[in-house]
Structure 1
Amino acid sequence: MMAATPTRAAPMPKRPFCPHCERPMTTCLCEALVSVDCPYRLVILQDPREARHALSSVPILVKQVRTASLWVGDVFDPAEVIGASWQTDAALVFPSTQATGAHAAKDGGITTLIFLDGTWKKATRLMHLNPWLQELPCLALQPDQPSTYRIRKSPRADGLSTIEAAVLVLNGLQSTQDFSVILPAFEKMIDYQITAMGRDTYRKNHLKAGRGGLSPQ
């Protein structure tokens, strides 16, 4: 009698992904995506662990703002990510006792805005690993509404997702352009996730606690 030989189950077919928004076709965001010009460079420094998070707002930001760029890592060279004149060209969007309002960037000749993407703990870690960030002027955010990032939490009352932080800063700098047009795609992603988890699960796990976002701003 021949011995039985093990057989492997056929691999599950991979979900089809949209080549443009790079999300599963069932949660494609392309209908909500727009493309906007911006007079400022947006440089997002992202913690590597945050880069693996499927609900990060940064890919949606980068796909819509033409001047936005994403750098993933722990330690960054300012001359590489910003340029040789980084000390005079850039401002960091981050809470600080010395932080000023958005007008400081407008009046100070700032051309590049730096955002740290990750949880508050991860963003603080990036600050410690990159002491050059502490040499930059800081812009504080003063949101008049809570974050719509209903599926992730922040320990700070003023916590916003990175895309929301970018919109708030840019709208404070540009009175002739409304950058809120990039938010519908972000809100659509959130709605997709709430639908996927189920309304009952969402109400149980998210509505009782204040939900902010990831960005420490």
Structure 2
Amino acid sequence: MRACICACVEVIACATEVLILQHPAELKHIKGSARLLHMCLPQSAIWVGEQFDAERLQQRLAQDNKTNILLYPDNTIASGVTDSFNPKSNKETSCTKPIRLIVIDASWRQSRQMLAQNPLLQSLPRYALRDVPASRYQIRRAHAPDQLSSLEACAYALMQLESANEELRRLLTAFDRLNQMQLEFGVHNLVRTKK
């Protein structure tokens, strides 16, 4: 059974398109944040799968002449890593072309498998988060204190990419509402940090 999260939604306009690639196992998690992220961002889409049709993915990434960047640490997989994306040093790209941010919604193990199964994703420039606060996620276990939910990671990336857009902070407000709602419904049997 899925809980209705409509009361948590904050519809937010942003210039960056977000493509969420969700592992099928995440669909089963009532505590997942990708669904709320998608509901908050009209410029977003969710694709569910592990290995995506390469031609279909290539067509999507070629649409609208956007700069595609993958929100993912640049040191997780040694082979296949291309340039890291830095909006401050990449003036030509960040000023003239809109960005499409690709977000993998999966556990770390699943995300590494998804990268291995989708060479096109491996070829994308990566945007690695730096200097972000600790997770606000109270209802799902993290294996390390610096691990964030998909919504939090995307929110912080968008805030860094679109630093002038103060509206993006409302994504965290929506996330706090989701946490509170889940706590009130008793979905807090998991400790946030694994011991």
- The reply to whether TM is greater than 0.5 is yes
The equivalences for 1:61-140 within 5 A come to 61-76=37-52, 77=54, 78-83=57-62, 89-97=67-75, 99-103=84-88, 107-108=92-93, 109=97, 111-140=99-128
The equivalences for 1:46-57 within 5 A come to 46-57=22-33
Q: Does 1:141 align with 2:129?
A: yes
Note the C-alpha offset of 1:181. 0.6
Q: 1:9 maps to what in 2?
A: none
Runs of 4+ in 1 over 6 A off after TM superposition: none
Over 3 Å counting, the alpha-carbon distance change for 1:137 and 1:143 in structure 2 is same
Over 3 Å counting, the alpha-carbon distance change for 1:110 and 1:137 in structure 2 is farther
Note the C-alpha offset of 1:105. 6.4
Letter in 2 for 1:99: S
Q: 1:10 maps to what in 2?
A: none
Query: The residue matched to 1:152 in structure 2 has which SS?
Result: coil
Q: Does 1:188 align with 2:173?
A: no
Note the C-alpha offset of 1:195. 2.7
Note the C-alpha offset of 1:161. 0.8
Tell me the alpha carbon deviations over residues 135-181 of structure 1, each in whole angstroms, 9 at most, x when there is no partner. 11001011431111122123344211111111111111112212111
Of 71-80 and 165-174, more deviation after overlay is shown by 71-80
**Which protein has greater RCO, CA pairs closer than 8 Å, 6+ apart?**
2
Tell me the alpha carbon deviations over residues 186-217 of structure 1, each in whole angstroms, 9 at most, x when there is no partner. 2122122223338xx75xx516x369xxxxxx
> How many angstroms apart in 2 are the aligned matches of 1:71 and 1:103?
29
Count of paired positions: 181
Q: 2:3 maps to what in 1?
A: 23
Note the C-alpha offset of 1:95. 0.5
Query: The residue matched to 2:69 in structure 1 has which SS?
Result: strand
Over 3 Å counting, the alpha-carbon distance change for 1:105 and 1:69 in structure 2 is farther
Gaps of 5+ in 2: 76-82
The equivalences for 1:143-158 within 5 A come to 143-158=131-146
> How many angstroms apart in 2 are the aligned matches of 1:156 and 1:134?
24
Letter in 2 for 1:96: D
Note the C-alpha offset of 1:134. 1.1
Higher Cα radius of gyration: 1
How large is the RMSD of aligned CA atoms in angstroms? 2.7
Over 3 Å counting, the alpha-carbon distance change for 1:101 and 1:158 in structure 2 is farther
Contact kept, 8 Å, 1:29 with 1:189, in 2: the verdict is no
> How many angstroms apart in 2 are the aligned matches of 1:85 and 1:59?
24
Q: 2:18 maps to what in 1?
A: 42
Gaps of 5+ in 1: 1-14, 16-21, 212-217
